[in-house]
Amino acid sequence: MPLRREVVVQPLGLGYNGGVRQSALVRAQRIIVFIIVAALAGIALLAVPFFGGGGSPAGDGSAWNGLFAQGSLRAAGRQIALISGHAGNDSGAVCEDDAGVATLTEAAVNAAVVERTAETLRRSGAFVTVLDEFDDRLQGLEAELLLSIHADSCVDASGYKAASYALRTTPADERLLACIDHYYPAATALPHHTDTVTHNMTEYHAFAKIAPTTPAAILELGFLGGDRVLLETQPDLVAHGVTESILCFLRDEDPRIAPTPIPAVESAIP
Ligand SMILES: [Zn+2]
């Protein structure tokens, strides 16, 4: 977009005969000052979206904080909603020992990852709301994105997958999925397990409740069975993959068009 702001200079001289030279000179100076001020304002307005102000709540100054928050990657002031899968409702998938005693629950895995993701995003200045599975606040929810965090059953399989609302997928939803598919496996080294995307995911209850303008996805972090070591003992690494996916979306990146070089992951996955 060109850095140009239209300044319509009305023919202020009309009605005067050019005889008053002093007045015309003052008038011309005022017009020049006005043009300069308008141009500066135009440049400032155009600069904001490039530095993290886009979509932030009006009047909180976050757009300008974003100008100076190095490394915040546009998170400052952004409204993010995370569902901690099964929270407030049930335990989700469960791993049991031979005696039938639960040794790992999906709800606990989800909560650990959501808690860490929210903490990192908040440190970057984002407003993060952590929601229960059937949270009343889902109704009409307006946010810059909603991501629901789940994990898959305790079977001997490995991989993650994400889905958005099959009945109303928007380009923003698709870009959010592209961010997840790029950054989540990069952090976790998990394969993409596409053939277990179910209607429970593509017609996930929250998708029908939130405002249609809110981009949303549900992410299955991995399998409690085959990916247990990662999910149970490395929630920081898993949360890093989720956080990077969200930050990709917030900075308007589209990995399908311009993949970003992926930094080396410090922890090795067993
Ligand atoms: Zn679940």
Whole-number Å distance, alpha carbon 92 to ligand 1 midpoint, is 5
Identify the pLDDT of residue 52. 36
- Residue 263: what pLDDT? 64
Higher pLDDT, 262 or 220: 220
Kindly give the distance from the C-alpha atom of residue 107 to the centroid of ligand 1, in angstroms, as a whole number.
Answer: 7
- Kindly give the distance from the C-alpha atom of residue 151 to the centroid of ligand 1, in angstroms, as a whole number: 5
Residue 3 belongs to some domain of the structure: no
How far apart are the CA of 225 and the centre of ligand 1, in A? 14
230 shares its domain with 100:
yes
pLDDT for 76 equals 85
Find the mean pLDDT for residues 216-238: 98
| 208 and 146 part of one domain | yes
> Looking at residues 264-269, what average pLDDT do you find?
54
Q: Are 132 and 160 within one domain? A: yes
Query: 165 and 191, same structural domain?
Result: yes
Give 35 Cα–ligand 1 centroid separation in angstroms: 58
Query: What separation in Å is there between the alpha carbon of 182 and the centre of ligand 1?
Result: 22
- Same domain for 218 and 231, yes or no, is yes
Total domains, the chain:
2
Query: Ligand 1 centre and the CA of 94: distance in Å?
Result: 10
Q: What is the 3-state secondary structure (H, E, C) of the chain?
A: CCCCCCCCCCCCCCCCCCCCHHHHHHHHHHHHHHHHHHHHHHHHHHHHHHHCCCCCCCCCCHHHHHHHCCCCCCCCCCEEEEEECCCCCCCCCEEECCCCCEEEEHHHHHHHHHHHHHHHHHHCCCEEEEECCCCHHHCCCCCCEEEEEEEECCCCCCCEEEECCCCCCCHHHHHHHHHHHHHHHHHHCCCECHHHCCHHHHCCHHHHHCCCCCCEEEEEEEECCCCHHHHHHCHHHHHHHHHHHHHHHHCCCCCCCCCCCCCCCCCCCC
Is residue 182 located within the same domain as residue 237? yes
Q: Is 205 a member of any domain?
A: yes
Which protein residues have their CB within 5 A of the ion that is ligand 1? Answer: 85, 92, 150
Kindly tell me if the per-residue pLDDT of 59 is higher than 60.
no
Same domain, yes or no: 47 and 76: no
Distance (angstroms) between ligand 1 centre and the Cα of 42 equals 48
d(CA 219, CA 88): 18
Distance 120 CA to ligand 1 centre (A): 23
Say yes or no: 43 and 112 in one domain.
no
Same domain, 108 and 235: yes
Q: How far is the CA of 162 from the centre of ligand 1 (A)?
A: 12
Q: Percentage of the chain surpassing pLDDT 70?
A: 68
Within a domain: residue 7? no
CA of 93 to the centre of ligand 1 (A): 6
pLDDT of residue 65: 38
CA atoms of 162 and 181, how far apart (whole Å): 8
Residue 125 in domain: yes
Whether 162 and 84 map to the same domain: the answer is yes
Predicted local confidence at residue 11, as pLDDT: 40
Say how many Å lie between the CA of residue 20 and the centre of ligand 1: 79
pLDDT higher than threshold 50 for residue 8: no
User: Quick one: 60 and 163 in the same domain?
Assistant: yes
Identity of the highest mean pLDDT range in 30-39, 69-78, 112-121: 112-121
Give the residues across from 219 on adjacent strands.
Answer: 149, 162
In a domain, 96, yes or no: yes
261 within some domain: no
Query: Containing domain of residue 143, as a range?
Result: 55-250
In-domain check, residue 269: no
pLDDT cut 90: percent of the chain above it: 63
> What is the reported pLDDT for 88?
98
Considering the domain boundaries, does residue 259 fall inside one? no
State pLDDT tens for residues 94-110.
999 999 999 999 999 99
CATH number at residue 96: 3.40.630.40
What is the CA(87)–ligand 1 centre distance, in A?
A: 10
Phi, psi for residue 150 in degrees, rounded to 5:
-135, 175
Shared domain check, 103 and 24 = no
